[in-house]
Amino acid sequence: MSAAVQAPLRWDLFCQVIDNYGDIGVCWRLAAELGARGHAVRLWIDDASALAWMAPQGAAGVQVLPWPAQAPPDGPGDVVVEAFGCEIAPDFIAAIARHTSADGKKPLWINLEYLSAEGYVERCHRLPSPLMSGPGAGLTRWFFYPGFTPRTGGLLRERDLATRQAAFDRQAWRTGRGIAPRDLAVSLFCYEPPALPLLLEQLHTRSDARLLVTPGRATAAVLHEISLKPLWNKRKQLLVSYLEPCPQPAFDEMLWACDLNLVRGEDSLVRALWAGQPFVWQIYPQHDAAHHAKLLAFLDWLQAPASLRRFHALWNGLETAPALPQLDAATLAEWHACVMAARTRLLAQADLLTLLLGFVTEKS
């Protein structure tokens, strides 16, 4: 049975929110797309508060439930997905071990891993992890790795994404926000990038720059830097818009409309790739600097030109310099060609959910 004609399944998707919105952003997109393809999803989450603005209308087929201490009375679903290494309760694991469906099948247990372009992803994708002890003794948990190559689990991509993008009126979006056709519109979704002062300094030297700052840490970081530079306020060259939280489709549209997107984490990186506009990625910083190798592996896969690699290195603190590469028309055109080429490669590959459904069919 292929994924295209697969009978609807019941899914239990587990998500723990750490300290940002990437985990819940990825899990919600996955849950909503499963629902759109006719499956029933229970999204078990320890903090669903962000969904009030991220997905205020909910999604067909998706039920959001608080993190469980034990399995529900009707038992686990056909597929159990632990996202990003979150650990489900022992009682729920025990329920997986003892549950058998009417057709004699056991639930399929999958660990959906973090996204990376590093070489280990291809080696570890689809590997089994047998449990030798504990309430799940005898079960097998399978690793499923998202990725950028055909030998990985692919990237999340809604089936209607191309239709939505084709119908999007980019100029009307910009006009409605006072952005002129020749303005440089820059979206900022970041943590606290070391080179943020350099970006603001460069944009303040222009008369055509519009900075759209997402709420939370990005807004706090920009306000802090501006407070340290009173001359910036006197020049009033740079127009800054501090945005309100918005649903995921509206965030996507902002990326489609801007000339440069500064994104962070996993979910917005994927959305920036689908947007096809120049972007710079702030990778989630780790204390042991493991994120450096992860960033460089991504830039290698992206086939990033020297100026884009340099901007990433400064933006993420791998290097220091008195200024960032200039965001002139030639540079942005080069970055745009790079991103579009990468996007074309990705569109030629199957998306994550299609591959995941195929894997489920294979193992069931």
* Residue 141 and residue 174 in one domain: no
* pLDDT of 184 above 80: yes
* Residue 86 and residue 212 in one domain: no
* Residue 213 and residue 330 in one domain: yes
Annotation says 82 is catalytic: no
Q: Which two three-digit tokens encode residue 263?
A: 């994104």
> What pLDDT shows up at residue 355?
98
**Alpha helices (H) along the chain:** 22-36, 51-54, 90-98, 120-124, 161-167, 170-175, 196-204, 217-227, 230-235, 248-257, 267-275, 290-302, 306-315, 329-347, 352-363
* Residue 183 and residue 256 in one domain: yes
* 264 Cβ contact partners less than 8 Å away, ≥ 6 residues apart: 20, 22, 189, 190, 191, 281, 282, 283, 284
Identify whether 2 is part of a domain: no
Q: What are phi and psi of 269, to 5 degrees?
A: -60, -45
Identify whether 354 is part of a domain: yes
Which residue type, as a one-letter code, is found at position 268? S
Q: What are phi and psi of 43, to 5 degrees?
A: -95, 105
* Residue 168 and residue 292 in one domain: yes
Domain of 37, CATH number, reads 3.40.50
Domain of 221, CATH number, reads 3.40.50.2000
In tens, the pLDDT along 110-161 reads 999 999 999 999 999 999 999 999 999 999 999 999 999 999 999 999 999 9
* Residue 203 and residue 331 in one domain: yes
Crossing angle (nearest 10°) for helices 22-36 and 352-363 = 70
* Residue 179 and residue 318 in one domain: yes
Identify whether 1 is part of a domain: no
> What pLDDT shows up at residue 287?
75
**Domain encompassing residue 124:** 7-154+350-363
Q: Which two three-digit tokens encode residue 326?
A: 């200039």
Cα separation, 18 vs 20, whole angstroms = 6
pLDDT band at 3 (very low <50, low <70, confident <90, very high): very low
Q: What DSSP string describes 60-80? A: TTEEEEEPPSS--TT---SEE
Torsion of CA 36, 37, 39, 41, to 10 degrees: -40
Task: Between 32 and 229, name the one with better pLDDT.
Answer: 32
> Domain tally for the chain?
2
Nearest to 223 by CA among 205, 246, 241, 209: 241
Identify whether 243 is part of a domain: yes
Identify whether 182 is part of a domain: yes
> What pLDDT shows up at residue 236?
60
In tens, the pLDDT along 261-297 reads 999 989 999 999 999 999 999 998 877 777 889 999 9
Which range (6-15, 175-184, 219-228, 233-242) has the least confidence?
233-242
Nearest to 209 by CA among 245, 255, 258: 258
Annotation says 351 is catalytic: no
* pLDDT of 183 above 60: yes
Q: Which two three-digit tokens encode residue 327?
A: 């965001």
Distances in Å between the alpha carbon of 234 and those of 159, 197, 205, 231, 237? Answer: 48, 17, 12, 5, 9
Which of 206-210, 286-290, 299-303 is the most confident on average? Answer: 299-303
* Residue 243 and residue 145 in one domain: no
Among the options 23, 113, 118, 253, which is catalytic? 23
Q: What is the pTM of this model?
A: 0.95
Average pLDDT over residues 82-102: 91
* Residue 237 and residue 308 in one domain: yes
* Residue 129 and residue 183 in one domain: no
In tens, the pLDDT along 15-41 reads 999 766 789 999 999 999 999 999 999
Identify whether 52 is part of a domain: yes
Average pLDDT over residues 239-263: 97
Identify whether 246 is part of a domain: yes
Task: Between 235 and 202, name the one with better pLDDT.
Answer: 202
Average pLDDT over residues 52-57: 96
Identify whether 17 is part of a domain: yes
Task: Between 143 and 238, name the one with better pLDDT.
Answer: 143
Among the options 12, 78, 113, 266, which is catalytic? 266
Q: Tell me what the pLDDT averaged over the chain comes to.
A: 93
Cα separation, 225 vs 178, whole angstroms = 24
Residue 323 DSSP class: S
* Residue 122 and residue 201 in one domain: no
Average pLDDT over residues 165-177: 97
* pLDDT of 190 above 80: yes
Adjacent-strand bridge partners of 239: 210
* Residue 168 and residue 144 in one domain: no
